[in-house]
Amino acid sequence: MPELPDVEAFRAILASCAQGRRIQRTEVYDAGVLHGVSAGRLRRELTGRRFAEPERRGKWLLARTDGPTVLLHFGMTGELVRANASAPVHAHDRVVFTVDGGQQLRYRDQRKLQGLWLVDEAGLDRMLREQGPDAAALTRTAFAAVLAGRRGTLKSLLMDQSALAGLGNLLVDEILWRARLHPARRADALSDDEQNRLHTALRRTLRSAVRAGRVPPRSSWLTGRRDAPAAACPRCGAALSRKRLAGRGTVWCPSCQPAHTAGNARTDGSDA
């Protein structure tokens, strides 16, 4: 599932391929991914416009133009692909933008759980106003404010886009594993040391994942071990535990992330 690092990689693709370039053609192969706009209106509004500098907010990509903004969400299987205009259309290409120079941006999505919106600034504000602060830009003080007064579990809070934007299932499990915190711990019951460990783990994990353009399945990461047969913790070797928490399949190490802790374990700061 695309999370903050994936969307940041899509933003970079859009910037390198299309920023400053004029949209020559917009082709809609499946209008089922369009929200609040018809295929015809999308073509009319965008043809001749130039892509401006793109932005990412949480899991949303803002493909700005010198007119309206194309707002993209990638759901579980979406991606933004750069291609030459001569390349064959993929079976899951839903919307294709052709820009000056013959390059194309292709919104590709197998399951079509989200898609594209065409919005002005007021519409953009309406779409994103309920979103919490971006996880990649969160200071320690702002993070403490997110946690304050939250009675839910760490897993549910970190997955809640209205509390903190950009994190998905893989990232949350990875961050909690690095911070040595159990996913079912109450968010408002952390000590100052645990809050600091969690914020440090969040920043370091995001920094590494953004560099990789995804949540990397490295053997030194929980992400790289979670789907293995007889999955074991890459830090201590204990068998990993699995349970459905906050509506999502959750993986943790029962040894490194005990349900009750004294709060004095160190953060694993490895970026390997």
Q: How far apart are CA 18 and CA 14, in angstroms?
A: 5
211 counts as catalytic? no
10 Å CB burial of residue 149 (0-12, 13-18, 19+) is exposed
Distances (CA, A) of 11 to 7, 63, 149, 157, 267: 6, 8, 34, 26, 30
155 counts as catalytic? no
Q: How far apart are CA 69 and CA 223, in angstroms?
A: 34
**Catalytic residue (choose from 3, 8, 174, 194):** 3
User: Going by C-beta distance under 8 Å and a sequence separation of 6 or more, which residues neighbour residue 166?
Assistant: 3, 4, 7, 58, 59, 134, 135, 136
The SS3 call for residue 180 is: coil
| In contact, 179 and 197? CB cutoff 8 Å | yes
Q: How far apart are CA 222 and CA 240, in angstroms?
A: 9
**Catalytic residue (choose from 2, 5, 68, 234):** 2
Q: Let me know how long the chain is.
A: 272
Q: How far apart are CA 144 and CA 27, in angstroms?
A: 45
**Catalytic residue (choose from 11, 56, 57, 59):** 59
2 counts as catalytic? yes
Neighbours of 81 (CB within 10 A): 17
Helices (H) and strands (E) in the chain, counts: 7, 11
Helices of type H across the chain: 4-18, 39-46, 121-128, 140-147, 154-159, 169-179, 192-212
27 counts as catalytic? no
CA-based max dimension of the chain = 61
**Catalytic residue (choose from 55, 248, 254, 258):** 248
Residues assigned a catalytic role:
2-3, 59, 248
